[in-house]
Structures are given as C-alpha cells and as structure tokens.
Amino acid sequence: MEILRGPADEQLAAGIAAQVERLVGFFRRLTPPPELSPTATAALATLERFGPCRLTVLAAQAGVTQPAMSQLIRRLEEAGLAGREPDPADGRVVLVRVTAPGIALLARRRVIRARRLAVMLRELSPQDRAAMAAALPAIQALAGADPGVAAVTLAARQLRAT
C-alpha cells in the first residue's frame, strides 16, 4: 500500500479532523446527562486505561494546569470516584487512581452510549456498516498514536524548510 505524502496527506488530515470534530459532538450527545464534566470523565478514563499516575501527568494529558487538576481530583475523591496512593517506587510521590465506583460510572456511560449508537447504526446501509467495521483498525491505530510525535515531526520539517 502506498503511503500518501504532501497535499494528499493534508487533504486527508483536514477531512479526518473535520469529521472527528463532528464525531466528538455526536458522542457527547449520545452520552447521558453529565454526572461529570468532560475533563473529569477524561481524567477517570485515562486512569482506567493507563493505571495510577501522577497528578502532573494527568494535568498535562488533559491540557489543564496542575492546580486545576488537583481541584478536580479532590472533587472526584469526595465523590468516591478517584483516590490517592503512595508511589511504590518513590514514597514522596502520590499517585492518583480510579476507584471501583469510578470504573462502574465509566462503564455505565459506555453502555448507554453504545446502545444509543447501535440504534443509529441500524439505520445505515449494510455497506456503510461494513465500511465502519472495516475502518475500526485504522481508527484504533489513530486513537493510540502519540500527538506529540506529530508536533515534533512538524516542527522538524519547519526547521528544515527555513
């Protein structure tokens, strides 16, 4: 398979970016009324996916300041959805973790969203459903990519161009 380079890549990227932006809004509408803010939900999902981590890592991942994330985690702790524990590798460091009720809340939200999406998928043609299924591996690869790599690559290209 040929890898696209140049303007074709940029057109593909622009198309994907526009549709992903629309999908984000679509998924927000599929989600039940918010028990949590999008940032709180994202923080819990990050902890669920990657395990306990430092507050600074969570803040960087969410694109918020450390004090803002600290307040958010405090509220999640008060709600019983997150907790803190000492880092086994460095007792001076505190790790944040998602609790069983936090995992259960995320699971409930996903089930509701999946059920709502299933109803909508039934309205698509068999060809469109097959195309969606065929696209899943590429979507998973893109979702797992490190955006920092793209930023560094773009910066390096810009330096070479000058």
pTM of structure: 0.75
Instruction: Give the integer Cα–Cα distance in Å for 5 and 134.
Output: 23
User: Hey, what CATH topology would domain 8-123 get?
Assistant: Arc Repressor Mutant, subunit A (1.10.10)
pLDDT at residue 152 tops 50: no
The residue extents of the domains of the chain are 8-123, 125-162
Q: What percent of the chain has pLDDT over 90?
A: 43
Average pLDDT over residues 6-33: 83
Average pLDDT over residues 22-37: 82
pLDDT at residue 161 tops 70: no
From residue 162, give the alpha-carbon distance in Å to each of 31, 150, 155, 156, 158: 46, 19, 11, 10, 7
Q: Which residues contact 138 (CB under 8 A, 6 or more apart)?
A: none
Q: Crossing angle, helix 7-30 and helix 100-121, to 10 degrees? A: 110
Among residues 29, 41, 35, 157, the alpha carbon closest in space to that of 103 is found at 41
pLDDT at residue 76 tops 90: yes
Q: What is the pLDDT of residues 129-145, one digit of tens each?
A: 999 999 988 888 887 77
